[in-house]
Every structure is written in structure tokens, then in C-alpha cells.
Amino acid sequence: MATKTAGYQAFLTGRKFVEIQLGMEWREAIETLTSGGVYVGVDAATQGVALLINGKDAESLDLFRGKLLELSKLGKNPEQIKEGEYRGITAYEVNKARFAVVDDWLLVTNNGDLGKVLLDRFLDGAKTSLADNENFQAARKSRSRNATAWAFADIATLRDAGVAPQLYSGQSVNPGVELLVGGFLSTLQKTPYASVELNASHQSVGLEFSMPHEPEWVPEERTFYFGPGGTGRGPALPVTNDTLFTLSTYRDFSEMWLRAGDLFDENINDGFAQADSVLTQFFSGKDFGEDILGSLTPEIGFVASRQDFTDILPIPAIKLPQFALVFQLKDPEKMTRELRRTFQSMIGFLNVIGAMEGRSQLEMDIDKLDNGAQLITTVYIPDEDDADSTRAEILYNFSPSVGFFGERFVVSSTDRLARELVQADIAAVDAGTANTHAQLEGGMLKQVLNDNRGQLISQNMLSDGNGREEAEAVIDLLLEVVGYFENVSASLNVGPDRLGFELGLRVKAD
């Protein structure tokens, strides 16, 4: 659809004109211009940005310079190009950009002083360079040989210069940020540098952020994040059908709750105190942080899967995925009874609130399975008018349930997923150095979206004002694009001397 617009056609016309002027097609032109690589740097002294492009050879680059100047003079304002000379080298200024060609290099910068420094170094040679920077050389050793792009940041210099001081304060702004990046914040206070690497191929794109890390850099209050000595690893998870999303992580919620006074400011800690008081009452006087959260191991899993509404009524109009948290109990014999009772009390409370608001009531059941697992399941009881509906309310996606099987404790949005998880085998996966790993399955996401195709079309018609055919075309295009992706993943890896965060995207081969 985009290629049919007038703007795209104008772009093609302009591109063809440039190709004629250069005497080569655009792909060949780009390859010739950038065959030696493209480099970008930020200079602390001048606060300027430099772009250095290494061309195929000096002759090709000089040809490009001449052709581009001719093209620029054909524009609406040819007088904007200013020409000057520095130490025998012709330099040009267009708006705020300065550029010059030296042998097979094209230098571009937004700062005149930085441009002079660059030219001086080309002419006189550099007295010092990145070759003398120990941190840069150490970072280069971790760079993949075939990396598509690679970047280096001297964190120590940035930290000393006072750039983004909130990143080095060691204190999070809220509990959500602390759970996600609290460990990174501690490492940023000490690490000398960081690097980012991009690896791209026809079937995948990977981005890795990496920096030196030592376990002793992590203060005691943040052992909840990495575990003792940085050895915390996400668990292998039960295998489920139609899996949409999985998250495996190490986070000691009990330690974070008890150490909140050292991690957050006064306002957030007041909120923790109020929550602790309410939850302690809810759990019959047991301390929430120490007795309840402390009964769980730090290895936590989250699973989401597509719901199958075959032979189930009523069917909600909007079909949501089912999801569950998977915990491990330190003392299952003691805590199973306590957590079972608490869940029953919570369902009773929800029914009271639901009755006051005119919602359907939850009916509870207890089931003991052949493998020794126990389930406490609930289901919403529909009104007679809704019993056979295929366009029911969204709440019929849910049947809150809990399951117990040995040390395994499951809190699920549906009874079906709870039953599946307490009976499923654990995936035979080596966690390696992964403190946290998450993965979204593209094929299953397409099926979940397709389950709601009618709703998505209706929403598009309402929000964008499209007719049905236009809306169907937009949603079907969305489904087609999603179907190209195999999965998207994210991993936080902690080694003995390095901390790395990886993002990956894979597309289907066929």
C-alpha cells in the first residue's frame, strides 16, 4: 500500500535521477561509498558528533564528492553551500554540517572545531588514539567477527562528566523499574565501559548490550536480583500446548520487600508499609514479606498460551490468552494448606464485591489428580440468557485457579491451564548464564489475533473510520506480517565477569 502512494513514486523518481548523475545504481553506489565501513563518534571536548565513511578508494570518493556538489547546486538554494580551505584541504559547509574528503575518507561533523581536530589527525597523525585505550581494546575482544554494527561507550568518562546522573544514583524510581533493571543500575556505578553489538542476517536480527560486571559490585540490598555471588538463574518451565509467551527469571521478592527501605525513597516506602499492613491481615497475621514471599524460592516462571474454547460455553466475544505464574515452595507440606485457604478466602471476597456490582459469581471446586496434584478451581456461573452465548463478556476468559504438585505452586487465570501445568513435565533446558529469559512465539500470536479478527476489524472501522473492506485489508495485512516472525526473545545473562542483555528476532525460513 505504501509503494502506491504519490510520495513513494516521487522518491523513486528522485532516486533514478541521482543514479543517472552518479552513473551507477543506488546499491552499487552505497557499496562503493561505504565499502571500508561507517564510523560514528561523539567527542567530549567539543560535544560534537563525527561521521567517518571509508570508501572503496580515493578516486571513487572524489567522484562522489563532485557529483554530490553538482546535485546540491541544482537545489532550490545553491548559495547555501559554502566552500573553504583548511591546511590545503577543501572543506564544505551546508547548513550546520561540515564535510571534507581526505584520500578515501569522507569526514562529516556538526562542529567546526571537531572538524579541524579530525583533519589535523589525518595530516599529522594521532599522538593518542583508541588503540591506546585499554577499555576500548578490552571491549573489542568481545566483538563478534561478523558483527553488522558495533558501538563502544566509555561509561567511566560519562559517569565522571555527570552525564545522566540518575543512572548512577543506585536508587530506582519505583518497584517495577527495580525488578527490571535494578541490577544494571548497580553495575553502571562501577563498570568502566559498555558495548553494543548488532548481528543481522536474512533470518534473524540480534542486539546485545554488554559490560564488565563483578559480583562484589552488587550491594547487599540487591542480592535479590542476581542471587548470592551472582549465581541466580531462571528455572526451566513446564511444557504446555499452544504456548504464546514464556518468562523465566530469578528474583527474590522476599528480599526486595524486606530491603525496600534501602532501595526506594520515603514515599514509595510509605506505600510498602501500608501494603504490608493490609496483606499481613489478609494472610491471618503472617508477615507478608518474610512468611509468605519468603516461602517461595526466587526461581519464578510465567507462561501464557492460546485458549481453546472448543466445547466451552459461554464463549467471550474477545478471546484473551490464558496465563499463569509458576512458583516453587520451600516447604510445600506447610504452605500448601496456608495458600489454599488464602485462595478460598480471596474467591469469597471477590464474590462479595462481584455481587455488589452485579457481576456473575465464581463457583469453586477442589480436585485431586492421579499424580497427587491438587487443584482449587473456579468458574463463572453465567445467567440463563448468557449460558449459550458466543459473544459473552470478557470475564468469561477467566476461571481463577491454583494448583499444587510437590514443590510446584501454580496461580493461573484459568482452570485448564492450572491443570495442564501441574501435570506437565519440566522442559529439559539448560539455563546456562540466563538470569532472565523471555520469548514470544510469532506463529501463536498470529493465531491469537486471528481468533479476534472480527473484533479487530470492528475496532479498526470505529477508530480509523474505514469501511469493512478497508478494515479487513488492514487487519489481514497485520496478520500476514505477524506470521512472518518465528519468535522474539530477550535474555539477561550474568557471567563471572560480564553482564549482557540480548534481544533477538527470528523470521520464518519459508
d(CA 392, CA 398): 12
pLDDT tens, residue by residue, 387-438: 888 888 999 999 999 999 999 999 999 999 999 999 998 876 665 789 999 9
What's the rounded Cα separation, in Å, for the pair 346 and 339?
10
Predicted pLDDT of residue 109: 95
- Residue 9 pLDDT greater than 80, yes or no: yes
Judge whether 240 and 418 are in contact, CB under 8 Å. no
Res 430: pLDDT: 63
SS3 331: coil
When pLDDT is cut at 50, 70 and 90, the band that residue 3 belongs to is confident
Which of the two residues, 172 and 283, has the higher pLDDT score?
Answer: 283
Distances in Å between the alpha carbon of 174 and those of 52, 179, 266, 275, 298? 41, 9, 11, 15, 20
pLDDT class for 78, splitting at 50, 70, 90? low
Q: How confident is the model at residue 76 (pLDDT cuts 50, 70, 90)?
A: low
pLDDT digits (tens, 9 = 90+) for 80-89: 788 899 999 9
Q: What pLDDT score does 226 carry? A: 93
> Which residue did the predictor score with more confidence, 319 or 157?
319
**For position 110, what pLDDT does the model report?**
94
Confidence bin at 21 (pLDDT 50/70/90): confident
- What pLDDT is recorded for position 371? 85
Long-range Cβ contact pairs of 452-459 (< 8 A, separation 24 or more): 452/318, 452/319, 453/479, 455/317, 455/318
- Give the residue-averaged pLDDT of 365-388: 89
Task: Say which residues have a Cβ less than 8 Å from residue 215's Cβ, sequence separation at least 6.
Answer: 226, 229, 230, 496
Phi, psi (5° rounding) for residue 359? Answer: -90, 165
Residue that has been written with the C-alpha cell 459461554 in this structure = 314
Exposed / middle / buried, residue 383 (Cβ in 10 Å: 0-12, 13-18, 19+): exposed
Does pLDDT of 167 surpass 80? no
Residue 160: the pLDDT is: 87
The grid cell for 377 is 478451581
Q: Which of 18-22, 353-357, 392-396, 417-421 has the highest mean pLDDT?
A: 417-421
Q: Are strands 322-328 and 299-305 parallel, antiparallel or unpaired?
A: antiparallel
Task: Report residue 5 CA to chain centroid gap.
Answer: 33
Which of 393, 259, 411, 400 minimizes the C-alpha distance to 328?
Answer: 411
**pLDDT given at position 155:** 92
Closest by CA to 299, choosing from 473, 137, 435, is: 435
All three cell numbers of 413: 487465570
Average pLDDT across the chain, whole number: 90
Position 71 scores a pLDDT of 72
Q: Predicted confidence band at 285 (pLDDT cuts at 50, 70, 90)?
A: confident
pLDDT confidence of 60, banded at 50, 70, 90? Answer: confident
pLDDT of residue 266 exceeding 90, the answer is no
Please report, to the nearest 10 degrees, the dihedral formed by the alpha carbons of residues 117, 120, 122, 126 taken in order.
-80
Is it the case that residue 233 has pLDDT exceeding 90?
Answer: yes
Give the range with max mean pLDDT: 126-140, 162-176, 186-200. Answer: 186-200
Q: Does the pLDDT value for residue 166 go beyond 80?
A: no
Which residue in this structure is represented by grid cell 514470544?
A: 440
168 band by pLDDT with thresholds 50, 70 and 90: confident
Q: Taking 90 as the threshold, does the pLDDT of residue 455 lie above it? A: yes
499 in Cβ contact with 187 (< 8 Å): yes
